[in-house]
């Protein structure tokens, strides 16, 4: 039997929590989060005891999927491997029903995940299920993760036709179209950052995943050549390559050419994770956007917030969706706005919680956007201190990693398509404005 289950981020934030005993609280997972954050040798083993509790977890999609096993229960007697496999199954079900799993998609789909946990861990008893069997018992509709919009809302964004799948990571492995003759390679990076008021990056963390999905007959051997080595070993002297602190290869993936070449045997219709990596803290982090802000007094009662968002991604890239969220001064009754730059911009204000949202769609790389927002009844000299930036950028990744060559052996028929796509999304980017 299980005492509780939670999904936590790499920074120790509990995104989802389910407790199976009425006398338990969120503090049940504090020893686990402390062990993860303080372990000097990376993550602890997949099963360990601390603070009188038995923890079993898996690390998937940059998230910890954790459960607490009751001592002496039948579940504990079955062994930790059984619990690990059950957690992996829960992750697969959530990924199948929710799509891409990020901090935002987990919090947006809390109701759906609650139903999944109710079906797979009813009362703390593990129920091994598959997505197909669970689908009939799930009534909630998934809330689409923001990173999918970049690939679905703008046809042709990656040079794809409208009929092309949105992303290799978004397609169920159970659906295989035998008529396809296509190969997809996706490089997806997530950004977490804290930025000072002058645009100085105080702290940043970038994690990336290289995904592949093949729709070719047989099991051709794939050889992928990158422009930089996938290695966490520091290089002597000056290095122009991407510096990484963590690299994890997928199952069956072989590394050659000094870390620049990945090879494996493809499986038709199957999504395969070739590698996961984390940029080194000393790698120069170029964030896709820079935001500058200032406030000034217009009248004794009204103030003006001026925002300028600059794209650092260069020509040929596009951000299908960029959103800046902040909170207006508490006395603000309404806002009036004027924008310049990209054509599709909106500024909205919620008088209930004083939330202020600036949204830009189809933001070209190398350009900038301005917003002049009048804060009515804000007190005149009131200031806006901080905000959150959410974005999706296609054809660009922070690390500069690129796929230089893709080779298949044996060579498939000439009438097949090869898609290489790049996407950068925000996980959590906080900005100080003053």
pLDDT digits (tens, 9 = 90+) for 236-257: 555 556 788 888 888 888 988 8
Distance linking the first and last C-alpha atoms of the chain: 50
CA angle 146, 149, 154 (to 5 degrees): 160
Output the CA–CA distances (angstroms, integers) from residue 309 to 189, 289, 319, in the order listed. Answer: 21, 7, 12
Nearest in space to 184 (alpha carbons), one of 160, 156, 212, 209: 212
- Mean pLDDT for the chain overall: 81
Contact residues for 381 (Cβ-Cβ < 8 A; gap 6+): 297, 303
pLDDT band per the 50, 70, 90 thresholds, residue 168: very low
Contact assessment for residue 267 and residue 219, using Cβ atoms and an 8 Å cutoff: yes
- The secondary structure of 352-398 as a DSSP string is TTTEEEEEEEEEETT-EEEEEEEEETS-SS----EEEEEEEEES--T
pLDDT band per the 50, 70, 90 thresholds, residue 171: very low
Output the CA–CA distances (angstroms, integers) from residue 232 to 1, 79, 396, 414, in the order listed. Answer: 39, 33, 22, 37
CB burial string 329-343: b at 16+ within 10 A, e below: beebeebebebebbe
Taking 90 as the threshold, does the pLDDT of residue 95 lie above it? no
- pLDDT at position 169: 37
Taking 90 as the threshold, does the pLDDT of residue 356 lie above it? yes
- pLDDT at position 106: 85
**Higher pLDDT residue, 297 or 140?**
297
- Mean pLDDT over 34-39 rounds to 77
Q: What is the pTM of this model?
A: 0.65
The DSSP secondary-structure symbol of 143 reads: P
Contact assessment for residue 406 and residue 183, using Cβ atoms and an 8 Å cutoff: yes
Above pLDDT 70, what percent of the chain?
Answer: 84
Above pLDDT 90, what percent of the chain?
Answer: 30
- Domains of the chain: residue spans and CATH: 2-137 (3.30.450.60), 146-285+396-432 (2.60.40.1170), 289-394 (2.60.40.1170)
- pLDDT at position 161: 31
pLDDT band per the 50, 70, 90 thresholds, residue 147: very low
């Amino acid at each position: 039997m299980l005492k509780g289950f939670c999904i936590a981020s790499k920074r120790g934030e509990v995104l989802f929590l389910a407790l199976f005993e009425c006398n338990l609280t969120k503090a049940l997972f504090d020893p686990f989060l402390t062990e993860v954050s303080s372990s000097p040798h990376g993550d602890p083993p997949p099963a360990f005891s601390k603070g009188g509790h038995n923890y079993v977890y898996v690390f998937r999609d940059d998230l910890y999927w954790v459960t607490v096993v009751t001592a002496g229960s039948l579940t504990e007697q079955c062994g930790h491997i059984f619990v690990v496999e059950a957690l992996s199954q829960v992750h697969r079900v959530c990924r199948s029903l929710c799509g891409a799993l990020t901090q935002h998609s987990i919090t947006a789909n809390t109701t759906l995940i609650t139903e999944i946990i109710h079906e797979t861990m009813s009362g703390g008893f593990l129920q091994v299920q598959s997505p197909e069997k669970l689908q009939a018992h799930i009534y909630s509709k998934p809330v689409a993760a923001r990173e999918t919009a970049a690939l679905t809302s703008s046809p042709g964004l990656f040079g794809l036709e409208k009929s092309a799948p949105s992303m290799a990571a978004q397609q169920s492995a159970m659906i295989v179209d035998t008529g396809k003759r296509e190969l997809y390679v996706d490089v997806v990076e997530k950004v977490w950052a804290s930025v000072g008021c002058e645009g100085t990056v105080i702290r940043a963390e970038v994690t990336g995943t290289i995904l592949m999905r093949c729709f070719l007959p047989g099991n051709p051997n794939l050889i992928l050549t990158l422009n930089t080595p996938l290695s966490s070993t520091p290089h002597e002297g000056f290095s122009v390559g991407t510096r990484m602190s963590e690299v994890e290869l997928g199952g069956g993936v072989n590394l050659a050419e000094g870390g620049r070449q990945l090879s494996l045997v493809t499986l038709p219709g199957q999504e395969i994770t070739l590698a996961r990596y984390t940029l080194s803290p000393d790698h120069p982090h170029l964030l896709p956007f820079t935001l500058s802000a200032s406030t000034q007094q217009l009248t004794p009662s009204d103030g003006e917030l001026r925002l300028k968002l600059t794209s650092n991604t260069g020509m040929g890239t596009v951000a299908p969706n960029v959103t800046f969220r902040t909170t207006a001064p508490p006395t603000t009754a309404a806002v009036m706005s004027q924008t310049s730059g990209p054509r599709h911009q909106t500024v909205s204000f919620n008088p209930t919680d004083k939330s202020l949202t600036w949204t830009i769609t189809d933001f070209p790389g190398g350009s900038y956007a301005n917003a002049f927002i009048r804060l009515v009844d804000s007190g005149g000299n009131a200031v806006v201190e901080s905000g959150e930036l959410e974005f999706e950028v296609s054809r660009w990744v922070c690390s500069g990693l690129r796929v230089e060559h893709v080779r298949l052996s044996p060579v498939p028929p000439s009438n097949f398509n090869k898609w290489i796509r790049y996407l950068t999304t925000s996980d959590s980017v906080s900005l100080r404005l003053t």
